[in-house]
Amino acid sequence: MLKITANTSKVYDILIGSNLIKDCGKYISEVVNPCKAMIVTDSNVGPLYADAVKEALCSAGFDVYIHTFEAGEKNKNIETVYNITLSLAENGFNRKDIVVALGGGVCGDMAGFASSIYMRGIRFIQVSTSILSDIDSSVGGKTGCDLPVGKNLIGAFHQPELVVIDTNVLTTLPKHFYNDGMGEAIKYGVIAPSDLMDKICDDIDIEQLIFECVDIKRKVVENDEKEQGERKLLNFGHTLGHAIEKYYNFDKYTHGEAVAIGMCMISDAAFANGYCDKTVGDKIRIACKRFSLPTECDAPIEELSKIALSDKKSTSSGIDFVLPRTVGKCEIVNIKKEDILPFLKKGIK
């Protein structure tokens, strides 16, 4: 088992290894005294792993409840969060009790958000079951849900007590989920100095890959927990990626696929505007293709730019874009509203 300790406003461990779910009760009891534990999971993951997590928690002395919601981004809304809090209240949970988020990013974000507002905040644990949540959303304390007008528009920073990443569960993931997660892995290879990009293109062991991505995220979040500066680097490829997801009504491209296209597009724009050389975009494309990730789409750049300007990350002074300088180094550059379309159009056909 590999372990990373995050030194944020809360200090917590991230455990990475095979078959950790079986013993997760033991790991959780090392950070939380036995109490009531609500496993929050979705209709895809619950049937596969909720019983195993329940058994592990019961053996460690926890009094265990399960709340299951309908899987899917379309259910990442305030009603689902409300139902989680209602379930906590109806089962007599108090501030000493815990929530255990069992699932991918949608589940972790909402279970974490429900924990942050229930009784003004109770503790929660992340038991992550997708590569996307393993290397991104389970770490760093961003929790929340969507509004009809945009993704993650309500939420809170609420750090978990522990993150458990069981690499064995990844074997039950269909291939495209695996590839989807690699979109975020490629992002880490571009934003931080390491040999990650080369390793991604070779046959890297999955446990080691998750470890290296999480460790990059840990450093960024430790330096800038509330995203005032450096943490924005984690949004590389995401400004256009989110716009792409939205343009296609979250139907055509998954998150990792949209981020892959977003990274290629913004690298082309960065090259055309003199921020980096062409090899950056070329390398990203090679890595994306290795995992069958798309590198372009037919959405007009005018539309993507419009959607980006309505995103929560857009301010009156424009948008902070993450632009690559080289593979391994990016810069946060504020581009004024009126300059965004010309900037993008210069590099994106």
Binding site for ligand GLY (CB under 6 A): 136, 140, 142, 227, 231, 234
Residue closer to ligand GLY (CB basis): 196 or 301: 196
CB of 24 to ligand GLY, least distance (A): 23
C-alpha span between 75 and 322 (Å, rounded)? 29
Distance CA 40, CA 87 (A): 10
Which helix or strand (DSSP H or E) is residue 49 part of? helix 46-59
Q: How far is the CB of 64 from ligand GLY (least distance, A)?
A: 29
Q: Which is nearer to ligand GLY, 36 or 187 (CB)?
A: 187
Burial label for 328, CB within 10 Å (0-12, 13-18, 19+), is: middle
User: CA angle at residue 70 from 68 to 73, to 5 degrees?
Assistant: 125
Q: How far is CA 15 from the centre of its chain?
A: 17
Nearer to ligand GLY, 136 or 161 (CB): 136
Query: Residue 79's closest CA among 146, 17, 128, 22?
Result: 146
Q: Mutual orientation of helices 255-272 and 175-191 as an angle, nearest 10°?
A: 30
Token representation of residue 119: 């009784």
- In the complex with ligand GLY, the residue whose CB is nearer, 136 or 146, is 136
Smallest distance, ligand GLY to C-beta of residue 105, A: 9
CA 146, CA 15: separation in Å to the nearest integer? Answer: 28
Closest-CB residue for ligand GLY? 234
Nearer of residues 36 and 231 to ligand GLY, judged by Cβ? 231
What the block records as the tokens of 82 is 């409300």
Shortest Å, Cβ 201 to ligand GLY: 23
How far is residue 199's CA from residue 214's CA, in Å, rounded to a whole number? 15
DSSP 16-38: EETTTGGGHHHHHHTTS-S-EEE
Minimum separation from the CB atom of position 235 to ligand GLY (A) = 6
Question: Closer to ligand GLY at the Cβ: 97 or 227?
Answer: 227
C-beta of 209: minimal distance to ligand GLY in Å? Answer: 17
In the structure encoding, which two tokens stand for residue 17, read together?
Answer: 């290894």
Nearer to ligand GLY, 47 or 229 (CB): 229
What is the smallest separation between the CB atom of 294 and ligand GLY, expressed in angstroms? 20
| Residues 294/158, Cβ–Cβ less than 8 Å | no
